[in-house]
Amino acid sequence: MTTFTMKFQFPEQLTPAQARSTFYWTPHDTGSFTTRLRPRLGLFGPVKPANADLVRLAVLVYAADRSVARRANGASWSRRDLHLDVPVTEPAPWQATQARWEALLGFLSGDSWSLAFRRARLPAEPVSPYRYPGAERVVLLSGGADSAVGALLSQHELGSRRQLLFSHVGATNIAPLQRDIATRITALTGAADLPHQQLRFSRNSKQPGGHPFPDERSTRTRSLLFLALGLALASIEEIDLHIPENGFASLNLPLSADQRGSVSTRTTHPYFLDELSQVAAASEAHAPVTNPLAAMTKGEMFTRTGELIGAHAASEFLSSTHSCGHTGHRSHGYPVMSHCGVCFGCLLRRASFSASGITDRTTYLNETGDPNLAVYLRNNSMETALRGFLTRGVRPADLLSLTLPEHYPLAAAKALIERGTHELETLIR
């Protein structure tokens, strides 16, 4: 078992054991993270204390996930045993929900988690005035097509009323794209006031003093931090949080009979969002989380966008988003924000353009004909797995493995999956 904790003051001398097991989130830029945000979240405004606790839990989960390699004995998805010592303001409600948090984190990442909650001794920090009064909801804007469509449809629904777009910035190259999408939504909807809050938060590659962290790149828990930060903002005026994601990908259908949770992250899975809302509320945090696109395929989302703003504008808007799950093409001389064209995110994107009839203006690396990319693209391609998935079809055992919440009818999930697989078949035959 690997154990981690979080502290708020950097020691005068950091031992190797402390460097391996402790993340330092200090009031100054001397710790383990790159961010302007401090442990009390005063930058956001008067955040509800339990929501600041939730952010600290999510930061610790994310940092631990990044710092323990999965690749053991040749298995790239080995199950890890992780223990976290989590600082919170009032331990009692968190201790009462401990088992549920452990199970939820296991569902999200596929690991075994154990948690201990202790009373935090937090450093003082200034609390900024809240800058977005009157916003009716917070919408997470990642830079992907789904979040962009969700934010567009949400603003169209609100009309002249206000929403707040919130973006987590892990790598700085995504930040300009997020700002561009927010600007496009403002222009397309005629919104008089569409605030967009971006926040960079990433674990450093090294501890202060030079001790390097291991770097596991498969992090399935990063979006939990995105959700927790969004809920912290939403807690100030107790408004809802929207995390838009197409329902087909959210169901996380297995690509083969012996795989589970292999299509995409489980962060927007209906069970995960339901349980997160319930267990966070039981821990006294503000936690109404909704996926407004849960009943739609990605192709249906693209079609709805075309109906709303016109096919040409939809083509430009959707093509400006980013869906690729890989960044390794930068080592081959291509910008990190390029689209490989062969990962699951790219294949689903291409199929959605095809199914909706909207012109795809995206440049995909697999269409460049560059022979230097052949091995890279072949090693990262999901096309063979998807072709096998489509050939064998969805089996009853696949549906039974979905872990749906009680209110989600299996028939509705089956119908959604059938529509989603039909869209994939327009690209992969």
Say whether 317 sits in a helix, a strand or coil.
helix
Residue 99, Cα to own-chain centre: how many angstroms? 23
Q: Which residues of 326-357 are buried (b: 16+ CB within 10 A; e: fewer)?
A: beebeeeebeebbbbbbbbbbbbbbbbbbbbe
Cβ(220)–Cβ(268) under 8 Å? no
Least confident of 61-75, 135-149, 336-350, 413-427: 61-75
Q: Mind giving me the DSSP string for 358-424?
A: ------BGGGS--GGGHHHHHHH--HHHHHHHHHH---HHHHHTT---TTS-HHHHHHHHHHHHHHH
In tens, the pLDDT along 145-199 reads: 999 999 999 999 999 999 999 999 877 789 999 999 999 999 999 998 899 999 9
In tens, the pLDDT along 346-396 reads: 999 999 999 999 999 999 999 999 999 999 999 989 998 888 889 888 888
Domain ranges of the chain: 2-119, 137-290, 323-425
Least confident of 37-46, 48-57, 258-267, 303-312: 258-267
Q: Is the pLDDT of residue 263 over 60?
A: no
CB atoms within 10 A of CB 99: 12
Q: Is the pLDDT of residue 429 over 80?
A: no
Q: Hey, what are 414's tokens?
A: 């089956």
In tens, the pLDDT along 249-261 reads: 999 887 654 444 4
pLDDT of residue 256: 53
Q: Which amino acid is at 103?
A: A
**Of residues 404, 99, 104, the one with CA closest to residue 271:** 404
DSSP conformation class of 192: S
Residue percentage of the chain with pLDDT more than 90: 77
Global pTM exceeds 0.85:
yes
Domain covering 137-290 assigned CATH 3.40.605.10 in the classification: no
Average pLDDT over residues 286-292: 97
